[in-house]
């Protein structure tokens, strides 16, 4: 004990009091620091030990990891036509990357990427001779987009890196499948498969996928220095697939090079962030990124992690309302600490679309504030004036913010928030019954007063839940004109 009782403090000199205060501050700092260290340890421990509910791939491992179940997307007429063209001269073509990984996980297949041993010029010739449109979307990296019946497939020539600068690579074409796989980021993204479903796995990607482990191919530091975007992709696969940290040293390398993210284009950073924000946020990835300083580099406004978490819980797990779904923009609005102007500046910095920037700005500088105790007419008025998307977004933001302060809300409040969201389901705008000619017909001269009177009556009409018919609106117009 430093002191037997608080009464002893009276006998201390100023210097002793200063020393005592400093000791208390140091003690408080160490306690806080210990909590942060403990949280990081718990997160990494969870990432290393969690047992994710996922397709059991152990049978494939026992069989040598050789075979995918052939699914309809692998043998569609469009895919078959592309493969037939690419293999006409006896060279090999395979599915590569995310479609192979997602097929193994029984996840929906998005883009279907194909690799080939043919050179880009020859790929173009083969596709065109088969009546398939060939678009040189990434010719410098060996990528041709094949278009068949409206379906698109990226066809890329096998390649190896000659030089990299952390943002882009200079490549040389090859016919070596393993050399091409070696230049990819993570083991589970380096697998390929042919049309029969045979899986080619050069770096134990299937084993890592089965155990939900994220692991770089080769040395983590080299892979990161080749392409800094792999730092964000590392967190993206934790968030979207529930991948666990397989190697703490690799995790440390990811964090070590976070400042190099400043070298990337805004578009590449934006695309990864949007995928993370739209994800299931497994292992509380967003909080992990904040605590490891990732957001300090790419999104310094991202400070409201608790708000983000509660909103993500509402829009993905807590509610079964068709108007509510996971959305990266309203989640971003919860995460960032800024006003409308700041949101607009952030949107421009990330190269969001005009519509996304305007939506984000309106969510950070709302023209309307929802309440859980709104009447049915008030809800209808808001839906009519602002549209269902903005009403849903602002309601989720308000509700989730309230949950930060009071995690268990009274039943009345919960039901009130739900009522607003349910009203947005299937909402169709109601046409205001009056036009400018109706005001003219009442003897009002052409000019600004026409629109002013219409606005007044329309505001009255909305306040009543958009229920008044044409006759009632005319009556209200005439009453206002008399005054």
Across the range 387-404, mean pLDDT stands at 98
Which segment of 14-18, 195-199, 245-249, 300-304 scores lowest on mean pLDDT?
A: 14-18
pLDDT > 90: percent of the chain: 81
Tell me the pLDDT band of 3, cut-offs 50, 70 and 90: very low
Tell me the pLDDT band of 24, cut-offs 50, 70 and 90: low
pLDDT in tens, 334-343: 999 999 999 9
pLDDT for 5 equals 45
**Are 359 and 329 contacting, i.e. CB atoms less than 8 angstroms apart?**
yes
Structure tokens at 280: 């299931």
Class of residue 308 by CB neighbours under 10 A (exposed 0-12, middle 13-18, buried 19+): buried
Class of residue 74 by CB neighbours under 10 A (exposed 0-12, middle 13-18, buried 19+): buried
Which segment of 50-64, 319-333, 354-368 scores lowest on mean pLDDT?
A: 50-64
Structure tokens at 369: 């504030």
Across the range 440-453, mean pLDDT stands at 94
Q: Is residue 349 over pLDDT 50? A: yes
Tell me the pLDDT band of 46, cut-offs 50, 70 and 90: low
Across the range 199-216, mean pLDDT stands at 94
Name the average pLDDT for the chain: 89
pLDDT for 140 equals 80
Q: Is residue 10 over pLDDT 60? A: no
Q: Provide φ and ψ at 169, rounded to 5°.
A: -125, 150
pLDDT in tens, 132-156: 999 998 888 899 999 999 999 999 9
Q: Is residue 20 over pLDDT 60? A: no
Residues with Cβ within 8 Å of 215's Cβ and at least 6 positions away in sequence, in order, are 186, 187, 208, 246, 247, 250
pLDDT for 119 equals 95
pLDDT for 38 equals 55
Which segment of 82-91, 154-163, 320-329, 375-384 scores lowest on mean pLDDT?
A: 154-163
Of the candidates 197, 200, 198, the one whose C-alpha atom is nearest the C-alpha of residue 187 is: 200
Structure tokens at 327: 């959305």
pLDDT for 29 equals 57
Across the range 314-318, mean pLDDT stands at 95
**Are 422 and 461 contacting, i.e. CB atoms less than 8 angstroms apart?**
no
Which residue has tokens 């108007």?
323
**CA atoms in the 13 A half-sphere facing the CB of 336:** 27
Q: Is residue 476 over pLDDT 50? A: yes
Counted residue by residue, the chain has a size of: 483
Q: How far apart are CA 377 and CA 371, in angstroms?
A: 13
pLDDT for 67 equals 84
Q: Is residue 15 over pLDDT 60? A: no
**Are 446 and 349 contacting, i.e. CB atoms less than 8 angstroms apart?**
no
């Amino acid at each position: 004990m430093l002191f037997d009782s608080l009464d002893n403090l009276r006998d201390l000199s100023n210097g002793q009091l200063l020393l005592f205060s400093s000791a208390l501050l140091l003690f408080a700092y160490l306690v806080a620091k210990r909590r942060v260290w403990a949280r990081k340890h718990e997160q990494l421990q969870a990432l290393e030990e969690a047992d994710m509910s996922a397709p059991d791939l152990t049978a494939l491992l026992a069989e040598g990891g050789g075979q995918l179940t052939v699914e309809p997307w692998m043998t569609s007429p469009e895919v078959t036509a592309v493969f037939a063209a690419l293999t006409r001269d006896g060279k090999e073509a395979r599915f590569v990357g995310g479609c192979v990984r997602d097929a193994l996980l029984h996840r929906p297949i998005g883009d279907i990427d194909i690799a080939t041993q043919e050179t880009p010029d020859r790929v173009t010739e083969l596709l065109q001779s088969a009546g398939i449109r060939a678009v040189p979307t990434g010719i410098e990296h060996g990528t041709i987009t094949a278009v068949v019946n409206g379906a698109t497939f990226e066809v890329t020539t096998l390649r190896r890196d000659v030089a990299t600068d952390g943002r882009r690579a200079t490549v040389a074409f090859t016919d070596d499948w393993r050399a091409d796989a070696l230049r990819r980021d993570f083991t589970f993204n380096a697998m390929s498969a042919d049309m029969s479903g045979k899986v080619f796995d050069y770096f134990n990607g299937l084993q890592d996928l089965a155990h939900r482990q994220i692991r770089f191919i080769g040395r983590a530091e080299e892979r990161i220095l080749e392409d800094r975007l792999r730092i964000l992709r590392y967190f993206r696969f934790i968030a979207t697939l529930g991948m666990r940290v397989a190697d703490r040293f690799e995790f440390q390398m990811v964090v070590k090079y976070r400042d190099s993210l400043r070298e990337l284009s805004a578009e590449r950073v934006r695309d990864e962030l949007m995928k993370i924000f739209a994800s299931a946020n497994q292992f509380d990835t967003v909080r992990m990124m904040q605590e490891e300083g990732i957001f300090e580099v790419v999104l310094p406004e991202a400070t409201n992690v608790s708000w983000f978490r509660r909103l993500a819980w509402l829009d993905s797990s807590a509610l079964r309302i068709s108007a509510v779904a996971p959305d990266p923009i309203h989640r971003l609005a919860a995460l960032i600490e800024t006003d409308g102007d700041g949101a607009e500046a952030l949107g421009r910095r990330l190269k969001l679309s005009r519509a996304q920037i305007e939506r984000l700005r309106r969510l950070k500088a709302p023209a309307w504030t929802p309440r859980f105790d709104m009447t049915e007419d008030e809800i209808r008025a808001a839906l009519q004036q602002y549209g269902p998307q903005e009403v849903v977004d602002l309601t989720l933001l308000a509700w989730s913010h309230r949950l930060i302060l009071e995690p268990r809300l009274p039943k009345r409040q919960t039901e009130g928030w739900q009522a607003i969201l349910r009203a947005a389901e299937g909402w169709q705008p109601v046409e205001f019954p009056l036009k400018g000619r109706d005001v003219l017909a009442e003897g009002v001269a052409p000019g600004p007063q026409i629109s002013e009177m219409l606005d007044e009556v329309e505001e009255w009409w909305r306040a009543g839940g958009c229920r008044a018919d044409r006759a009632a609106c005319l009556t209200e117009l005439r009453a206002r004109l008399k005054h």
